[in-house]
Structure 1
Amino acid sequence: MTSLRSLQLLAILALSGWMGLAQAQSQNTYQVEVVIFSQPSAQLTPGTAPSYGWADQATDLTVTTRSDVRSLDSSRLELSSDAGKLSAQGYKVVLHKAWTQPDDSSLAVAVHEGQEMGGIYPVQALVSLGQERLLEVDITAWINNQTQNGEIVSERIKQIRRLRLDETHYLDHQSMGMLVRISRS
């Protein structure tokens, strides 16, 4: 009888340990770093412009009060060397941001650079992470240029890509591109 109780207690402890591990794994925190660059000599390839509510359903990195989404300072950037190489080769780095975020597939993080032009920024992006078996990133980024008559002409890149942690991934679209790196925080 004592051995049966011991076995039951052992099973309960094992199950609660497994559940704790599953909960800990579901609350992973990632460090996300994005570099967006353009090729100034390339011809502008107009794409779909962002809507004025482009970040309504996202967490804006610059103003968020969420404690689990935090901007990282420049000393923690891992792609600075790569961004420098791009600049040396004639590319224009237009955005370089890094942050931490939880493993939450419903979370989209909005990042932007430059002076706002009526809800649109010169450079802006939405970044979402998801994971079933493999880590995936869903990115939509725009480089927006205002013409002399006030119109916005946008270049847009949208990709969903499976990623490996701690590797730099290159996303390309004619006159613009991105470097993305995701690691555990």
Structure 2
Amino acid sequence: MKLFRFFVAIVLGLFALTHPVQAADEAPWYDIELILFKQEASGSEATENWPEDPGSPDWTDAVTLLPPSSEEILQPYTLLPKANWQLNAQFNALQRTRAGMEPLFHQAWRQPVAASRAAENIYLGPDLVKKNGAPPPPFEGLIKISVSRYLHVELDVLLRGANNNLPFNTLDTLSSPTRGSIRFHANRRMRSGELHYIDHPRIGALILISRVELPEPEPLPPPEDVAPGTSAPIPETSPQAPEKPTPTPATN
């Protein structure tokens, strides 16, 4: 009986270890397109009290988006070519507007979307790669996308120098990279194929998530039928006529 319980414990432990990997392998794939923009505060929002130091998102184990690839089979979290972007008109409108909106980020990528326990945090920033030791960028954050019955998006973005009640000072940010920042944290439920807007007094986000069907890999050609214990047949060749001897001239 003790041996049986020990066996069950091992099986359950192996399932717990392998289940997230299996979920990621079988997860559906989506194209994600995201626009982040800064909004100028007005009215009562201009005097709203924000925390002096809102803290920082947890960058630990965050995934970095990969540059576009010309290969037919994309790796997860690979950026899509700009020809595949669908929100260019919205981004251009934000650039032209005089309503105090400033675009910060516009990218699109393809990824598998797994259940919440297996979903990955993705790093967002001007350089797409977090550079330790460098001066902090004007904004950076994380996005995590998961799926259950609906799609779920979690955003955690830090906008530096946005706290109007606290003067922005480079020396302060070097000693405390989050001081004087405003942190935008949102969790939303979404549907595939619909454009969603996430609002905040100082930061806004437009996000479009579209389901994609990956092409099936071409099957390998079946091997030739060979009977067990025998080798593959050797192709027959037509027999060649024996060479005729070259006559030797007679000598006197």
TM-score (norm 1): 0.73
Note the alpha carbon deviations across 1:105-163, whole angstroms, 9 max, x for none: 32111121159584643221211111111111111112223923422322221111110
Q: Which residue of 2 aligns with 1:176?
A: 203
For structure 2, the 5+ residue unaligned runs are 1-22, 68-73, 162-166, 174-179, 213-252
Q: Which residue of 1 aligns with 2:33?
A: 33
Q: Which residue of 2 aligns with 1:142?
A: 158
Q: Which residue of 1 aligns with 2:113?
A: 103
Mapped partners of 2:82, 2:89: distance in 1 = 12
Specify whether residues 144 and 116 from structure 1 end up closer, same or farther in structure 2 by C-alpha distance, changes over 3 A only: farther
* Mapping 1:15-164, distance limit 5 Å: 26-40=26-40, 42=42, 43=46, 46=50, 48-50=54-56, 54-61=58-65, 67-90=75-98, 91-104=101-114, 105=116, 106-113=119-126, 118=133, 120-145=136-161, 147-152=168-173, 153-164=180-191
**Structure 1 stretches (4+) deviating beyond 3 angstroms?**
23-26, 40-47, 114-120
Greater fraction strand:
1
Note the alpha carbon deviations across 1:59-79, whole angstroms, 9 max, x for none: 02158xx92110122222211
Aligned residues: 159
Note the alpha carbon deviations across 1:24-71, whole angstroms, 9 max, x for none: 9942111111111012464486452325xx3222102158xx921101
Higher CA-based Rg:
2
TM-score (norm 2): 0.55
Q: CA RMSD in A?
A: 2.9
**Of the two structures, which has the highest relative contact order with CA contacts closer than 8 Å and spacing of 6 or more?**
1
For structure 1, the 5+ residue unaligned runs are 1-22
* Contact 2:24–2:112, Cα closer than 8 Å, also in 1: no
